Structure 1
Amino acid sequence: MPLKEYIQTDRDPEGTVDKDRKKKDKVIKCKAAVIWEKSAPFSIEEVEVAPPKANEVRIKIVATGICRSDDHAIEGKLSTVKFPVILGHEGVGIVESTGESVKHIKPGDRVIPLFVPQCGQCICCKDPRSNMCIAGKMKKAVGLMSDGTSRFTCKGKQIYHFMNTSTFTEYTVAEEMSVAKIDSGASLDNTCLIGCGFSTGYGSALNSAKVHPGSTCAIFGLGGIGLAVIMGCKIAGAARIIGVDINPDKFNIAKELGATECINPKDYDKPVPQVILEQTGGGVDYAFECVGHIETMLAALNSSHFAYGTTVIVGVSAPESTISFDPMILLTGRTIKGSVFGGWKSKNSVPQLVSDSLAKKFDLEKLVTHRLPLNKINEGFDLLRSGKSIRTILLV
């Protein structure tokens, strides 16, 4: 759809404001990728997208990335998912209409939907130590808006939302606290990666770990997030950045982005933590787990320096997973912590990250290996599962 067809203006000398209001109040029929049940493939369907209610925004999605967390959702590994559902949480688009009481976003704005909201009022939003939001976490039922209903229907059935965003659709609805307005000159293509993968990895290094100049780092898992961690470690001034993955095809891009060396655990007859301890003289300053497997989390922890190593868990584990280790491993000074969305306070930080991208402080395009139309979404997930892609962007 041409931009002029879905961007509304604030001033209209032709007297079509009433027409725009009527348009805003209408249900939009559009294409979306629906998952009807656990482990099912995506089905391209015509869905109805209801108008935004108070404090909500309806967005024309232009591009959206495929993230491993979406795959976890398909497999039923996330407790925050109900089926049937429209997945996707790494998107960029243009505001089509707004509901009542929306204060800071207007039709025509370029925006990124946020899977980590920022209400600005709760105790977590006001505390600089956290980027979580109590309102976003506690206020609503799984898969529904704050009023307990969905804005999506298909074939007469309610379709659930996903992570406040649902970007695998031509149009979506999100609450204002889950939408960040970005620079009007921002690309409507790879900028979507700031909605999750890039920001999560990059911020894990800069905010969560606080990597310092001259330090040593190990990154377990060289997918989109792991590679973004490498980018963060490099810009923070780390002297030694070790990429760890069982897929050697990812080593070249890892080194291009800043890894000083890469390790394939399959190449050794000893556990990879032992390899790293031996090669670094006692362990790394910072270890990052970007896979979501318990075994890799333990490997990262055991690869960190016994006296001052910090391990950051970035990967999403399966529900009810547990991790077990001797607490003495922490007594000597090790630290283990988690990181969601790289520690960024979303509405505050996303616009600045987009500006940094425009200023060429980092190159998002380095993470993009494939582009596909929305109707080839299943092919995109096949690329993800086979390890043939870093980030596939769906052009909606």
Structure 2
Amino acid sequence: MQVIKCLAAVAWEPNKPLSIETVEVAPPKTHEVRVKIHSTGVCHTDLSTLSGINPDGPGNLFPTILGHEGAGVVESVGEGVTNVMPGDHVIPLWLPHCGTCHMCLSGKTNICEKAFATFLSGMLLDGTSRFTCNGKIIYHYVGTSTFSQYTVLPDISVVKVNPSARLDRVCLIGCGIPTGYGSVLNTAKVVEGSSVAVWGLGTIGLAAVMGARKAKAKRIIGIDINPEKFHIGKKFGCTEFVNPKDHGDRPIQEVLSEMTEGGLDYTFECIGNVQTMASPPRVALESLRKGWGVSTIVGVAQRGLEISFTPFELLVGRRWTGSLFGGLSDEFLLKARDTFVFLLIFQVVGQLS
């Protein structure tokens, strides 16, 4: 196998436009896969990283090749790779499972301590990069770097998908759809007949709405300041909408509490706004019903910001949690790709058409 020269959008430093460069992509090493990227989404986390306000987490190193919501075709594989072969259609995963660390073996989380810690370093699992440009090493972005025509990933970071699924749609499975969908079904475990509110009707918020519909929630309230999103929200499963701008200075938690006769069973913050989460005015938290309401943080807030709340908000029985990649693992996707991935993409494409 040879080094491949291709085009990539390189982020040389924060707050600078991406630069289209010719990069060298080294062959895959043992238990690695080289993928030709066909399509990639642009997640808000990519934009946050580029702007320099990304949270204390992935992608704070430059120069780097961003992108973690891609889909493509396996070009070559290194020694020991058995889960995919050249020609397979795959989705790169930014949060894979090594299957051997304490976190993976616990069965309680999708946060692999080995992969997560390594990818924060901007390198692959062996501590090195496969990208160079003009003689300079380029960092990997959370182990995926899908803003390149070719990328190299660990074999645990790719999931094979049905070749009949459109790659320009299936790429959304790399982040946005599982993040929202899984936060409802896996993290919060929404139950039938419950009331749900989702802040932010972007990709993640709409996927959360779709998850709530799958869980047979009785009321699904979409909350957004852009009324143009309400039409598509209805397609995904919203039963009602609230635009905070329509209520002047009245706190939205009061509006929602009145609408639901005491508060919501579940709330999902899919924006990354700390004031919506649990800092004053704490709308997602305070909109919950006392006794059993659950609020889930799904959106990623910018670095350095903090949240605050009064202990009484939780003392009265509310619960507060977070969800990373919807609590999903590559093992789950592998087991469910025929039912989850294919049918979910079919559903999304139908609703977007």
Scaled to the shorter chain, the TM-score interval is over 0.9
1:327 aligned to which of 299, 311, 331: 311
Pairs within 5 Å for 1:174-323: 174-268=153-247, 269-298=249-278, 299-323=283-307
- Classify the secondary structure of the residue corresponding to 2:64: coil
Q: How far does residue 366 in structure 1 lie from its aligned partner after superposition?
A: 5.4
- Go from structure 1 to structure 2 and tell me whether the alpha carbon gap of 1:35 and 1:368 turns closer, same or farther (over 3 Å shift): farther
Letter in 2 for 1:39: N
Indicate conservation of the 8 Å contact 2:169/2:345, yes or no.
no
- Go from structure 1 to structure 2 and tell me whether the alpha carbon gap of 1:361 and 1:52 turns closer, same or farther (over 3 Å shift): closer
- Classify the secondary structure of the residue corresponding to 1:252: helix
1:364 aligned to which of 345, 348, 351: 348
Q: How far does residue 53 in structure 1 lie from its aligned partner after superposition?
A: 1.1
- Classify the secondary structure of the residue corresponding to 1:160: strand
Q: How far does residue 361 in structure 1 lie from its aligned partner after superposition?
A: 8.0
Tell me what 1:156 maps to.
Answer: 135
Tell me what 1:40 maps to.
Answer: 16
Q: Does 1:102 align with 2:89?
A: no
Identity %: 50
Letter in 1 for 2:74: V
Q: For residues 333 and 262 of structure 2, what CA distance do their matches in structure 1 show?
A: 35
Letter in 2 for 1:328: F
Q: For residues 352 and 115 of structure 2, what CA distance do their matches in structure 1 show?
A: 30
Tell me what 1:75 maps to.
Answer: 51
Q: Does 1:60 align with 2:40?
A: no
- Go from structure 1 to structure 2 and tell me whether the alpha carbon gap of 1:155 and 1:176 turns closer, same or farther (over 3 Å shift): same
Letter in 1 for 2:269: E
Q: For residues 175 and 351 of structure 2, what CA distance do their matches in structure 1 show?
A: 12
- Go from structure 1 to structure 2 and tell me whether the alpha carbon gap of 1:328 and 1:179 turns closer, same or farther (over 3 Å shift): same
* Structure 2: gaps of 5 or more residues: none
Indicate conservation of the 8 Å contact 2:115/2:125, yes or no.
no
Q: How far does residue 362 in structure 1 lie from its aligned partner after superposition?
A: 5.5
**Paired residue total:** 345
Indicate conservation of the 8 Å contact 1:224/1:367, yes or no.
no
Q: How far does residue 355 in structure 1 lie from its aligned partner after superposition?
A: 3.6
Q: How far does residue 83 in structure 1 lie from its aligned partner after superposition?
A: 1.0
Q: How far does residue 354 in structure 1 lie from its aligned partner after superposition?
A: 5.4
Q: Deviations over 1:113-156 (max 9, x none)?
A: 10111111122212232111011023466111122221111122
Indicate conservation of the 8 Å contact 1:61/1:91, yes or no.
yes
- Go from structure 1 to structure 2 and tell me whether the alpha carbon gap of 1:222 and 1:108 turns closer, same or farther (over 3 Å shift): same
Q: How far does residue 368 in structure 1 lie from its aligned partner after superposition?
A: 5.5
Tell me what 1:380 maps to.
Answer: none
Q: For residues 182 and 120 of structure 1, what CA distance do their matches in structure 2 show?
A: 20
- Go from structure 1 to structure 2 and tell me whether the alpha carbon gap of 1:95 and 1:123 turns closer, same or farther (over 3 Å shift): same
Q: For residues 351 and 104 of structure 2, what CA distance do their matches in structure 1 show?
A: 30
- Go from structure 1 to structure 2 and tell me whether the alpha carbon gap of 1:291 and 1:202 turns closer, same or farther (over 3 Å shift): same
Q: Deviations over 1:353-384 (max 9, x none)?
A: 45434346851225769xxxxxxxxxxxxxxx
Q: How far does residue 163 in structure 1 lie from its aligned partner after superposition?
A: 0.9
Tell me what 1:338 maps to.
Answer: 322
Letter in 2 for 1:49: V
Pairs within 5 Å for 1:341-356: 341-349=325-333, 352-353=336-337, 355-356=339-340
Indicate conservation of the 8 Å contact 1:215/1:239, yes or no.
yes
Q: Deviations over 1:143-199 (max 9, x none)?
A: 111222211111222111101111011100011121112233332220111111011
For normalisation by structure 2, the TM-score amounts to 0.93
- Classify the secondary structure of the residue corresponding to 1:300: helix
Tell me what 1:393 maps to.
Answer: none
Indicate conservation of the 8 Å contact 2:333/2:341, yes or no.
no
Tell me what 1:137 maps to.
Answer: 116
Bigger shift: residues 94-103 or 324-333: 94-103
- Classify the secondary structure of the residue corresponding to 1:287: strand
- Go from structure 1 to structure 2 and tell me whether the alpha carbon gap of 1:315 and 1:366 turns closer, same or farther (over 3 Å shift): farther
What CA RMSD, in Å, does the superposition of the two structures yield over aligned residues? 1.7
Q: For residues 345 and 164 of structure 1, what CA distance do their matches in structure 2 show?
A: 15
- Classify the secondary structure of the residue corresponding to 2:228: helix
Q: For residues 98 and 328 of structure 1, what CA distance do their matches in structure 2 show?
A: 54
Q: For residues 119 and 271 of structure 2, what CA distance do their matches in structure 1 show?
A: 29
* Structure 1: gaps of 5 or more residues: 1-24, 370-396
Q: For residues 171 and 244 of structure 2, what CA distance do their matches in structure 1 show?
A: 32
Letter in 1 for 2:35: I
- Go from structure 1 to structure 2 and tell me whether the alpha carbon gap of 1:303 and 1:140 turns closer, same or farther (over 3 Å shift): closer
